[in-house]
Chains A and B, each alone.
Chain A
Amino acid sequence: MLSVRDLHAGYGNKTVLQGVSLDVPQGAVIALLGANGAGKSTLLKSIVGLLERSSGTIELNGHPLPNATPDRALKAGVALVPEQRELFLTLSVEDNLRLGGFLRRRSHQLDAECERLLTIFPALRKRTAQPARTLSGGEQQMLAIARALMGRPSILLLDEPSLGLAPKIVEEIFDIVRQIRAEGTAVLLVEQNAAMALDVAEYGYVMDLGEVTMKGSADELKASSMIRNSYL
């Protein structure tokens, strides 16, 4: 349902994405792999409109997503959990969570939604009154994912959610990705941990120097010698 065609984008006059095309079908988990600096984060940022694209189209369910307007991308159903998490560190965990529903606003709905997410992320429940900056790295990642889910997106873009976390927490994050898919939300998952990403994803893309250099089903990618040598 999300389809990216021939996307070019970059920073200032430096073009990073050199014509990227990619699809995320409804309810699927798609892995996006690639070396540092390949342009994975740049791709996610231009999909949600955090970054202006210079050419190419992005469509969600056949409707074009407008350029450089994150609020409209979110309304259309695309949410990003960025690499740096970008939480509101001085605000409480609960405020962070509720703000995830900013565009939906109906406060009784927000209460129910908060409750739902706290059951998915039980670690956050006893911390709701704390400022977000007092959370551990893993808890911050959970909060960032929970905040994005508050907007009930139909597709969630996750940028290296396991970065810098202990193996046990990484397992939990991947369980949550499975749970998100089980609830019908599609996930585009950028990961350094290719083995785990290809375990949960059904399909994957590999990027290098701003281009898609390889794509295939998770099993095909796992079997490919290039992937084996570089990422597994």
Chain B
Amino acid sequence: MLAQVLVSSVTAGAVYALIALGFVLIHKGTGVVHFGYGDQVTFGAYLVLIAQMAVTGLPFWPAVFIALVVSALLGALIYGGFMWPLRNASLLAKIIASLALGTVLREFVRAFMGPNAWPFPFLLSQTAVPVGGVLVVPANLAIVGVSLGILAILFLLFEKTLFGKAIMAACDNRIGASLIGVRVSHVFLLIWVVASVLATVAGVLVAPLLTLSPDMGLIGIKGFTAAVLGGFNSLPGAVLGGILLGILEALVGTYISSALKDMISYGILIAVILIRPQGLLGGLLVKKV
């Protein structure tokens, strides 16, 4: 039973980790907590449906590809249209811009796609297969696999390549980064593009698990909590926070009450802020990435 709970909780945890990573990347790059990020996750999933409506008969995978491309462009637009002009503005102005952005995306889908839920396909079959005494659902496995794959790529980028280190350097000290020849504005553009693509990947993965409606963006809170849990500045911390949150939710949902499941993230959020504001990896975060 416990093993079963852990296996299925990893699915949610992996998606939380992706969203948390997006939050942390944007925060490192711009100093802003992007409160509209959850809505970007929703919007990304809707983009797949919109692509399929625009081109009749377009299969699922090409539609996902189009959604990824469009969200990359959206990321560039957000940076070029809002965040670059606001780069010297107050934190409050940036936060309002990010909130407004989320609202615009959410109300856009509500207006054009309606307020009701849409069906969204899983990547693989939902029929459980027994593996070593635990039931594994291929659909969930795909979610975990895609998330881990992306996390691994980002890990290699930031830990093993000079280019990835240069991105971290630009987040750490803009003047220093300019002095070693890094074009800081390009780095921040790249961060917005990557974070927006990550949001769409998370949206495509999570839409079939939840239901795709304009308010699915509330999942952003989970990613945000995972990021806070991990220290908000640490990429490994974000991943750890996501997985932990997924496990905690599943344990509470199974052994206490599934109604309490969603309360968990808010409870954790408050607890972390009160007890350990630097997050789990807060002590380490300054050292590693």
Contacts of B92 in A (CB 8 A): none
Cα of A80 to Cα of B166 in the assembled complex, Å:
18
On whether A88 and B175 interact (CB within 8 A), knowing A105-B162, A107-B162, A151-B181, the answer reads no
Q: Does B103 contact A (CB under 8 A)?
A: no
Do B166 and A99 touch across chains, with their CB atoms under 8 A apart? yes
Do A99 and B162 touch across chains, with their CB atoms under 8 A apart? yes
Within 8 A of B (CB), among A60-99: 70-71, 74-75, 79-80, 82, 84, 86-91, 95, 98-99
Do A50 and B178 touch across chains, with their CB atoms under 8 A apart? yes
Which B residue sits closest to A86, measured CB to CB?
B176
Cα of A87 to Cα of B173 in the assembled complex, Å:
7
Hey, what's the 0/1 contact readout for B136-173 against A, CB within 8 Å counting as 1? 00000000000000000000000000100110110011
Do A133 and B286 touch across chains, with their CB atoms under 8 A apart? yes
Do B181 and A102 touch across chains, with their CB atoms under 8 A apart? yes
Number of B interface residues in the complex (CB < 8 A): 20
Do A102 and B182 touch across chains, with their CB atoms under 8 A apart? yes
How near does chain B come to A111, taking the closest CB pair, in angstroms? 12
Contacts of A95 in B (CB 8 A): 165, 169
Q: Does B276 contact A (CB under 8 A)?
A: no
Which B residue sits closest to A130, measured CB to CB?
B287
Do A148 and B179 touch across chains, with their CB atoms under 8 A apart? yes
On whether A110 and B162 interact (CB within 8 A), knowing A99-B169, A103-B180, A131-B287, the answer reads yes
Contacts of B168 in A (CB 8 A): 88, 90-91
Report the contact-size class of chain A (Cβ under 8 Å from the partner).
20 to 34
How near does chain A come to B204, taking the closest CB pair, in angstroms? 32
Q: Does A147 contact B (CB under 8 A)?
A: yes
Starting from the known contacts A50-B179, A71-B182, 16 additional A-B residue pairs (CB-CB under 8 Å) come to A71-B181, A74-B180, A87-B176, A88-B168, A88-B172, A91-B165, A99-B162, A99-B165, A101-B162, A105-B162, A131-B286, A131-B287, A133-B286, A147-B180, A148-B179, A151-B180
Taking beta carbons and an 8 Å cutoff, which residues of B are in contact with A? Answer: 162, 165-166, 168-169, 172-173, 175-183, 285-287, 289
Which 5 pairs between the two chains have the least Cβ-Cβ distance?
A: A86-B176, A71-B181, A103-B181, A88-B172, A74-B181
